[in-house]
Chains A and B, each alone.
Chain A
Amino acid sequence: MQFPRHTLKKAWQLRAELASKKTTSLALTEDYLAKAKASKLNSYLTFMDAQAIASAKNFDAGKSSGMLAGIPLGLKDNLVTEGVKTTCGSKILANYVPPYSGTVVKKLEAAGSVFIGKCNLDEFAMGSSNENSAFGPVGLPQDPTRVPGGSSGGSAAAVAAGLAAWSLGSDTGGSVRQPASFCGVVGLKPTYGRVSRYGLVAFASSLDQIGPLTLDAQDCADLLEGISGYDPLDSTSLDRPVLHYGKAVEKIRTDATARHDFVKKLRVGVPAEFFAAGLDAQVQKAVESAIDALRKAGAEIVPLQLPTSKHALAVYYVVAVSEASANLARFDGVRFGDRVYPNGANSSLDEMYEATRGTLFGNEVKRRILLGNFTLSSGYYDAYYKKACQVRNLIAQDFAKCFAKVDVIIGPTTPTVSFERGSKTNDPLSMYLSDIYTVPVNLAGLPAVSMPYGTGEKGLPVGLQLIGAPFSELKLLESVAALETLFDGAF
């Protein structure tokens, strides 16, 4: 199977072409815009032609430079952009134009990034298939009758289909990694606190992180470097140095000796719980082939236990919905967004609230708000929310114990490859199960990355998940770079 990284130009390759004047940012931008507009995948909700062209011209005029400058990028439509519609895939924000831009968007702008547009997503990032978007589902580039995953499905599909050189998504329970896995691209969820959340429309505040979706480890490292860093506007962002992820990955990618030395010192943990019932056999085979390849290359493979991880999905669906129920309270039709009056001018305040939220929120969003109201309500708080927080701590402790023994934990990103559109929409539980390997990571606040490694059913991409200790993004991305050469037979 040819992965997108084999057929499409990576951002670092485009950068070289721009540097050698083989092409211009304007030419690139127009090309990506044209392809994105012609695509039937529905991966974009809003195009940002004017800004994109202006940024590209700026680059060509020498007014911007650096790793991100001049290169076309897609933004998940839950990243607020001043003056540009930000819908979160919801009818309630169908016409919302934010008065400000978030920290990450500002960083990218300052770095000369070219924004192609705003990418489709599950409404308020709630979903695993992109079928929950109020503006229609996104198709899997490899087979449009299947889902690209979610909630950052538009961002992942755009990269996999060459409609953006790279993109940003957000990951609350797997929303970057799971679509990366389905679409055959690299998707990273940074350590909680690594990237500012200011300007990311909150789904579950203690779990959300913005992360890059790219064609390979190199691009992922470069984009991560561009968006990371402490932000005084986000009290949960952490003041830790931003490392030179790009340089480190480049060394692994280009220097065979360094690569071999790196893998020989690598301790790779394999938790039994990630290979239990429910895992598709072909996915398992692909993941095991990656483990074999690492072993053969000299890495130490360490069997592990993560006994509390089996509770992660339950804990996640208490913590995430509880936070979401409060985070989504501001969408009340009062200050912004659309408003519905069921009885015209005679509507009472409560009627306006009910009609606005009742008709403009989608079913999955309403389901989660209801769940969250329940889990936080007096009399149930201790049994649900409080208990979930306690188990969450145990899960984090489990991981911490593992990272005393290993550098990275390896396993599948999802139990299956991409599934058919509509196959799980009436069964929320089976839909939730597609995040079973990704949610423990968010609960523990860890960094993790999904990379394509082999194929499963119908030749569709399988995602390999690598999980690291807090702030070990560098090691994770070096591992991905090493595995890319292993898979390509270039080790």
Chain B
Amino acid sequence: MAHPTYNGFETVIGLEVHAQLSTNSKLFSSSPSGTGSAPNRNINPVCTAQPGALPVLNRVAVDFAIRAGIATNCRINELSIFSRKNYFYPDLPKGYQISQYDKPIAEFGHLEIEFENEPGKVETKKIGITRIHMEEDAGKSQHMSGFSLVDLNRAGTPLIEIVSEPDFRSPQEAGAYLRKLRAILQYIEVCDGNMQNGNFRCDANVSVRPIGTAKFGTRAELKNLNSFRFVEKAIEYEIHRQIGVINGGGKIVQETRLYDSAKNITQSMRSKEDAHDYRYFPEPDLPPLVLNPAWIQAVKDALPELPSAKADRFVKDFGLPEYDAKVITSTKPLAHFYEKAVATSSGEPKLVSNWLMTEVLRMLKESEKEIEECPFPAEHLGQLVSLIKSGEISSKIAKTIFEDMWASGKNPKDIMKEKGLVQVSDPNLIENAVRKIMEANPKNVTEYRAGKEKLFGFFVGQVMKETKGMGNPSLVNDIVLAFLKGEKS
């Protein structure tokens, strides 16, 4: 596969993802984990680093990290070690972060990604995952004029850092990996994956090198990438910035750069010379983490369904085309939406899939929304399909109702009743209409019966008009035919 090129250069990108584990309590203390409380409420002597307080490892967080390792095809290490990463900052209570350094919990994994470096041309690629390690989050600092505020609610929240190999050769590949990784973490229920509030964060290491060079160029680490789009845009900017520097006779310096999404540029934050010496050493308050094979196996056995397995199941059980199954299972919330809709659809999984793939995804795209922000619940889509199936509404009416559902969030039955959109399926009503049309058009009846069969469409159209478009189309067809053939009168 040819790598994308940029004026004679290619780029090498590696990603570091920090994912917050959605455990109830913190990584090393019994304080509640997660945000939402007033500042400094979810704290205790351990997470405020009171003198004498000691960390105790949260077993559930270990389970979650193992899950993440298994789901990304990593080897789970039966022995891993926590270390202290030392630096001073007011929102780091102990003056060190407990992290894993030279012996992480999982290593040597990979993910298969699909991406389009050229629009319309889908490619696949295996991305190596170097390691996954566990660590605690810091608190939050808020800088006011003349002073700063510290909130330690987040301090001690469990994170996993997932470090990729430098296997990406374009921003699109990086974006595809992040979407896939987030979907997996959501699927296995270890991370909420919300990038805006920082529970799924990404740093990107970006370098460029002239095509044909084996050696990596000097890299810059990009931070403050708060959405998938920003990750792609920041990398894109950085590639061109670095090429510009090199072509201008300059040299790339190893540094950390912050992305400014408003200006769509990256700016130097600190150079390598300013880098901390973190003075890592094994955390003496925690014995090495020893996982026996039975523990790892138990986590494996209880692993929630992964996207690929779900897609296979959708093909098998619901008869969906593979492509549809893949699209629907691309994120857990979408798959979940689909399954809920199917449950209320009176057994029409394929019809639900059609509606989801066309109408729902189109509307989401147009309004730049995620499935979680869909204005109506999944059950309503199922009910809509159910109404089509029972013949109460036609597909055409369904579209009208769908638009109203999107706009108002009301359920389809109510909309149908309110607007009088009920399909006419009463044969008597339709027969009356047919009689009326035939009586009004005796000449056409004669011509039809003489062999001008294409006039059939005329009669159907007139009957539909007569029923204000509410006539059940197949019933109208049948009755018109019966009358024209003289089987009924």
Are B279 and A378 in contact (CB-based, < 8 A)? yes
Residues of A near B150 (CB, < 8 A) are 334
Within 8 A of A (CB), among B218-251: none
Q: How far is the CA of A330 from the CA of B52 in the complex (A)?
A: 11
Is the CB–CB distance between B86 and A329 below 8 Å? yes
Interface readout for B26-45 with A: 1 if CB under 8 Å, 0 if not? 00000000000000000001
- A299 to chain B minimum Cβ distance, whole angstroms, is 36
Interface majority SS on A: helix, strand, loop or mixed? loop
* CA–CA, A353 and B96, complex, Å: 15
User: Which residues of the other chain, B, contact A86 by a CB distance below 8 angstroms?
Assistant: 51
Do A199 and B56 touch across chains, with their CB atoms under 8 A apart? no
- Contact between chains at A326 and B50 (CB < 8 Å): no
Cβ distance B39 to chain A, nearest Cβ, rounded Å: 13
Q: Flag A318-333 by CB within 8 Å of B: 1 or 0 each.
A: 0000110110111110
Residues of A contacting B420 with CB < 8 Å? none
Interface centre among B57, B95, B148 (most CB of A within 10 A): B95
C-alpha spacing A232/B46, complex, angstroms: 13
Q: Please report which residues of chain A, range 227-267, place their CB below 8 angstroms from some CB of chain B when the two chains form the complex.
A: 232-236
A345 and B146 in contact, given A330-B49, A330-B94 (Cβ under 8 angstroms): yes
Give the shortest distance, in Å, between B91 (CB) and chain A (any CB).
9
In the bound complex, what is the Cα–Cα distance between A270 and B148 (angstroms)?
60
Q: Do B52 and A200 touch (CB < 8 A)?
A: yes
Q: How far is the CB of A204 from chain B (nearest CB, A)?
A: 8
Of B281-289, B299-307, B467-475, which stretch is located at the interface?
B281-289
A235 touches B287 (CB 8 A): yes
Which residues of A line the B interface, CB within 8 A? Answer: 78-80, 86, 88, 93, 96, 98-100, 102, 197-202, 204-206, 232-236, 322-323, 325-326, 328-332, 334-336, 345, 349, 353, 373, 376-378, 381, 385
- Which residues of chain B in 320-359 are interfacial with respect to chain A, using CB atoms and an 8 Å cutoff? none
Question: Is the CB–CB distance between B54 and A98 below 8 Å?
Answer: no
Using known A-B contacts A99-B45, A235-B57, A326-B281, determine if residue A199 contacts B52 with beta carbons closer than 8 Å: yes
Q: With A353-B88, A373-B279, A381-B281 known to touch, is A235 a contact of B56 (CB < 8 Å)?
A: yes
Name the residue on A nearest B89 (C-beta). Answer: A349
21 contacts between A and B (CB under 8 A): A93-B51, A98-B52, A100-B45, A100-B50, A102-B52, A198-B53, A200-B52, A202-B285, A236-B284, A325-B86, A326-B86, A326-B94, A326-B279, A329-B86, A329-B94, A330-B51, A331-B51, A332-B90, A345-B146, A376-B279, A381-B279
Q: Are B279 and A80 in contact (CB under 8 A)?
A: no
List chain A residues, Cβ under 8 A from B94: 326, 329-330
The reply on B373 being an interface residue by CB < 8 A is no
Residues of B contacting A102 in the complex (Cβ-Cβ under 8 angstroms): 52
Given contacts A99-B45, A100-B45, 19 further A-B contacts (CB under 8 A): A78-B52, A79-B52, A98-B45, A99-B50, A197-B52, A202-B285, A204-B284, A235-B286, A235-B287, A236-B54, A236-B284, A322-B281, A323-B281, A326-B84, A328-B95, A329-B88, A329-B95, A334-B90, A376-B279
- Tell me whether B285 and A205 are in contact (CB under 8 A): yes
Query: Interface residues of B toward A: which range?
Result: 20 to 34
Nearest residue, chain B, Cβ from A93? B51
B274 to chain A, nearest CB (A): 13
Closest Cβ of chain A to B372, distance in Å, is: 37
Closest to A206 in B: B284
Interface pair A201/B96, CB less than 8 Å apart:
no
A233 touches B277 (CB 8 A): no
Chain A nearest CB: distance from B151 CB in Å? 12
A330 near B146 with CB under 8 A, answer: no
Contacts of A378 in B (CB 8 A): 277, 279
In the assembled complex, the CB of B42 is this many whole angstroms from the nearest CB of chain A, namely 15
Q: How far is the CB of B270 from chain A (nearest CB, A)?
A: 15
Contact of A80 among B52, B57, B95, B287 (CB under 8 A): B52
Shortest CB-to-CB span from A190 to chain B, Å, is 17
Asked if B48 lies at the interface with its beta carbon under 8 angstroms from chain A, I say yes
Across the A-B interface, the 4 shortest Cβ-Cβ residue pairs: A329-B95, A205-B284, A376-B279, A206-B284
Q: Say if the beta carbon of B391 comes within 8 Å of chain A.
A: no
Kindly identify, within residues 107 to 152 of chain B, every residue whose CB is under 8 Å from any CB belonging to chain A.
146, 148, 150
Check: B93 CB closer than 8 A to any chain A CB: yes
With both beta carbons as reference points, the residue of chain A lying nearest to B87 in the complex is identified as A329
Q: Are A98 and B50 in contact (CB under 8 A)?
A: yes
